[in-house]
């Protein structure tokens, strides 16, 4: 089994952190951003996981779920719901925010882009009865969301002072060695200031207008 990652690609923080958390044995190979790892996709897709059968997984969340499953932790409705929310709501907003901060230097505007998903997460954290999002123990969901938010929330000037539950949870997850070392490997522990993040962002297509509002803004037909 082989995991392909690239320097500066924030999606790789997620899979590397979950890999360490689950302790699954797997080779890690660093490739450049243009490398077309998955043969049937026309655009480069990293991270990607090559399974012993020859199958490729190209979705970071599916890779994380696979590592979990191999480690004997099945998904639940709650886990599925958070991962779907991350992919459909948080990720588009975050991609847009990263584009604005890293490439356009628009720091002030990112707050409004992220406002919706961040306050949703903060409210959900306030209402929960467990220490982490889905359980008393840290789970894949916490690590996935932490990794997605890491570049933005590790920059104190972009954090809203009102979202205290979110900040406390972010710090609690971030002290895990799995999270720390993944952030170190991919973004040299520098978050938004990582030069590799800028290089990565420059090679990505610009997010579509309104993508921050998520899916369904401009249907195909």
Answer yes or no whether residue 27 interacts with other proteins by CB under 8 A.
no
- How far is 42 from 60, CA to CA, in rounded Å? 17
For residue 188, give the 3-state DSSP assignment.
coil
Q: In what order do the strands lie in the sheet with 48-50?
A: 27-30, 2-5, 48-50, 56-57
Residue from 129, 156, 157, 218 touching other proteins (CB under 8 A): that is 218
Q: List the structure tokens of 43.
A: 């655009």
- How far is 82 from 77, CA to CA, in rounded Å? 9
> What's CA 208's distance to the chain center, in Å?
19
Answer yes or no whether residue 196 interacts with other proteins by CB under 8 A.
no
Answer yes or no whether residue 206 interacts with other proteins by CB under 8 A.
no
H-run or E-run covering 2 = strand 2-5
Pick between residue 199 and residue 213 the one whose CB is nearest to other proteins.
213
Please give the size of the binding site for other proteins, defined by CB under 8 A.
38
Given phi > 0 = left and psi -120 to 50 = alpha, else beta, which region is 33? Answer: alpha
Instruction: Report the site for other proteins in 130-169 (rule: CB under 8 A).
Output: none
Answer yes or no whether residue 32 interacts with other proteins by CB under 8 A.
no
Instruction: Report the site for other proteins in 41-100 (rule: CB under 8 A).
Output: 41-43, 51, 53, 55, 57-59, 61-63, 65-66, 69-70, 75, 77, 80-81, 83-85, 87-88, 91
Residues found near other proteins in the complex (CB under 8 A): 39-43, 51, 53, 55, 57-59, 61-63, 65-66, 69-70, 75, 77, 80-81, 83-85, 87-88, 91, 208, 213-221
């Amino acid at each position: 089994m082989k995991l392909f990652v690239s320097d500066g690609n924030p999606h790789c923080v997620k899979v590397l952190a979950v890999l360490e958390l689950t302790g699954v044995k797997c080779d890690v190979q660093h490739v450049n951003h243009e490398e077309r790892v998955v043969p049937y996709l026309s655009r480069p897709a990293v991270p990607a996981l090559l399974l012993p059968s020859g199958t490729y997984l190209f979705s970071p969340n599916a890779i994380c779920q696979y590592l979990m499953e191999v480690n004997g932790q099945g998904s639940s409705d709650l886990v599925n719901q958070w991962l779907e929310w991350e992919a459909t709501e948080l990720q588009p907003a975050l991609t847009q925010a990263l584009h604005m901060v890293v490439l356009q230097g628009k720091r002030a505007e990112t707050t409004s882009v992220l406002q919706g998903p961040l306050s949703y997460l903060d409210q959900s954290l306030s209402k929960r009865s467990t220490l982490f999002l889905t359980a008393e123990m840290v789970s894949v969901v916490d690590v996935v969301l932490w990794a997605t938010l890491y570049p933005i929330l590790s920059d104190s000037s972009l954090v809203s002072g009102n979202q205290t539950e979110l900040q406390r949870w972010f710090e609690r997850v971030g002290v895990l060695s799995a999270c720390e070392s993944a952030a170190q490997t991919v973004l040299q522990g520098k978050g938004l200031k990582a030069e590799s993040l800028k290089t990565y962002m420059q090679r990505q297509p610009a997010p579509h207008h309104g993508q921050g509002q998520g899916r369904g803004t401009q249907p195909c037909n």
